[in-house]
């Protein structure tokens, strides 16, 4: 069996693969964020000399590829801070260290599934962070910069897509939105914005809104305030380079947060946009279930969470026409997330 470590950096992913004895089985490789489908095929043996299945280790600060890898049938494990030594403020520990963890420490790592996602096994930390964040959230709410939904007395809703842009699924989503002449908001990750600026321009040119979703989709309780600020600022810079604007809204990966990270949104910064309708499309329960979940829970003012990146999003695409038709039948108007909250479109 082979063991792979995947590290993220400012410009993509570094990959190291070792064998059962800890020796390098393949030369180190680098992959841009636009080549994740190719990297997945390479790890599964479709595009490399097959030497046995791969077990893959990622950091908890890398939430962009686990969904793609698990959907392809790879064994994927998450390394948390207590498994790792010091890591840079922006980037992972070396890929070789992660490969060695996959080889020798899998029993201590969290095995990830498509259903559980990258947060698997961290529920206590997740809820503790939310509990401790209440005072900062109150400050953001008072300043009009924290929202889960919009006004309930107007027939408006916001459809949102996380984790893109994706070279395949984002275009499919955009085609469907254009067919029905409705708008959405795309909460993009910086690594993909940097790698796929044309896709971001395509989103903007079609009249849709943008949101900041961090650089590498980390579990925020594992970041220091400085590390979080770098994730936020680097993503804003990537947006500015791609489309000449910086989004006014931010969505934390998994909805995770801590008072230390949220404090970085004060006294100025993007508004924090959560959601009140989770489609659960990331769990891949089938297009019909995704559709019914959205239609059963949406009401005026709803902020709907879906995904166009970060995994196999075919079911999300398949569900989208029925979702849009069902919401239009209720005479609900589709608006940008920032419009729903009464915010300016950009900072």
Q: What is the pLDDT of residues 72-100, one digit of tens each?
A: 889 999 999 999 988 899 999 999 999 99
Statement to judge: residues 140 and 259 lie in one domain: yes
Domain containing residue 127: CATH number? 3.20.20.370
**pLDDT at residue 50, rounded to an integer:** 58
Alpha carbon distance, N-terminus to C-terminus of the chain: 49
Q: Residue 247: which of 140, 335, 347 has the closest Cα?
A: 347
Q: Say what the pTM is.
A: 0.95
Q: How would residue 337 be classed by pLDDT, with cut points 50, 70 and 90?
A: very high
Q: What is the mean pLDDT of residues 194-207?
A: 97
- Please give the Cα distance from 205 to 226 (Å, whole number): 33
pLDDT > 90 fraction of the chain, expressed in percent and rounded: 84
Statement to judge: residues 93 and 162 lie in one domain: no
Statement to judge: residues 86 and 175 lie in one domain: no
- Which one-letter DSSP state was computed for residue 149? S
Residue 279, domain member (yes or no)? yes
Task: Look at the chain and count its residues.
Answer: 347
What is the Rg, in whole angstroms, of the alpha carbon atoms belonging to the chain? 20
288 pLDDT higher than 70: yes
DSSP secondary structure of 95-126: HHHHHHHHHH-GGGSEEP-TTTGGGTT-HHHH
Show which of 119, 137, 165 is a domain's final residue.
119
Statement to judge: residues 233 and 217 lie in one domain: yes
Residue 346, domain member (yes or no)? no
Q: How would residue 269 be classed by pLDDT, with cut points 50, 70 and 90?
A: confident
345 pLDDT higher than 80: no
What tens digit of pLDDT does each residue of 2-41 get? 999 999 999 999 999 999 999 999 999 999 999 999 999 8
Strands 110-111 and 75-79: antiparallel
Q: What is the mean pLDDT of residues 281-285?
A: 89
Q: What is the mean pLDDT of residues 117-124?
A: 88
Domain containing residue 71: CATH number? 3.30.420
Is residue 162 annotated as part of the catalytic site, yes or no? yes
Domain that holds residue 271: 123-340
Statement to judge: residues 310 and 217 lie in one domain: yes
Q: How would residue 51 be classed by pLDDT, with cut points 50, 70 and 90?
A: low
Catalytic residue among 162, 163, 281, 338: 162
Statement to judge: residues 115 and 144 lie in one domain: no
Show which of 119, 148, 165 is a domain's final residue.
119
**pLDDT at residue 268, rounded to an integer:** 82
Q: Are 202 and 174 in contact (CB under 8 A)?
A: yes
Q: What is the mean pLDDT of residues 100-123?
A: 88
Catalytic residue among 169, 213, 307, 336: 307
Show which of 65, 88, 119 is a domain's final residue.
119
What tens digit of pLDDT does each residue of 139-194 get? 999 999 999 999 999 999 999 999 999 989 999 999 999 999 999 999 999 999 99
Number of domains comprising the chain: 2
**pLDDT at residue 57, rounded to an integer:** 97
**pLDDT at residue 277, rounded to an integer:** 98
């Amino acid at each position: 069996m082979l063991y792979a470590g995947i590290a993220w950096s400012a410009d993509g992913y570094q990959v190291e693969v070792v064998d059962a004895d800890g020796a390098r089985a393949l030369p180190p490789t680098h992959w841009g964020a636009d080549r994740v489908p190719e990297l997945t095929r390479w790890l599964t043996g479709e595009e490399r000399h097959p030497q046995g299945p791969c077990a893959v280790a990622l950091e908890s600060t890398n939430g962009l590829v686990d969904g793609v890898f698990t959907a392809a049938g790879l064994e994927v494990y998450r390394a948390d801070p207590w498994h790792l030594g010091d890591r840079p403020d922006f980037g992972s520990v070396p890929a070789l260290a992660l490969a060695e963890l996959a080889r020798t420490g899998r029993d201590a790592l969290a095995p990830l599934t498509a259903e559980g996602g990258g947060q698997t096994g961290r529920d206590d930390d997740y809820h503790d962070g939310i509990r401790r964040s209440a005072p900062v959230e109150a400050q953001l709410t008072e300043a009009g910069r924290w929202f889960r939904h919009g006004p309930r007395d107007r027939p408006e809703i916001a459809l949102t897509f996380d984790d893109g842009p994706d070279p395949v699924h984002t275009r499919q989503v955009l085609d469907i939105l254009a067919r029905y002449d409705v708008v959405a908001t795309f909460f993009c990750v910086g690594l993909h914005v940097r790698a796929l600026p044309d896709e971001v321009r395509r989103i903007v040119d079609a009249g849709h809104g943008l949101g900041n979703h961090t650089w590498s989709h980390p579990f925020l309780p594992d970041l220091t305030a400085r590390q979080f600020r770098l994730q936020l600022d680097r993503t804003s810079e990537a947006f500015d380079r791609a489309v000449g604007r910086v989004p006014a809204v931010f969505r934390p990966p998994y909805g995770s947060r801590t008072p230390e990270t949220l404090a970085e949104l004060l006294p100025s910064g993007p508004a924090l946009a959560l959601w009140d309708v989770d489609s659960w499309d990331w769990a891949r329960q089938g297009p019909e279930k995704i559709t019914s979940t959205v239609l059963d829970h949406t009401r005026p003012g709803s902020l709907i969470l879906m995904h166009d990146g970060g995994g196999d999003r075919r079911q999300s695409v398949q569900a989208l026409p029925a979702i849009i038709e069902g919401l239009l039948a209720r005479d609900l108007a589709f608006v940008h997330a920032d419009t729903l909250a009464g915010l300016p479109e950009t900072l």
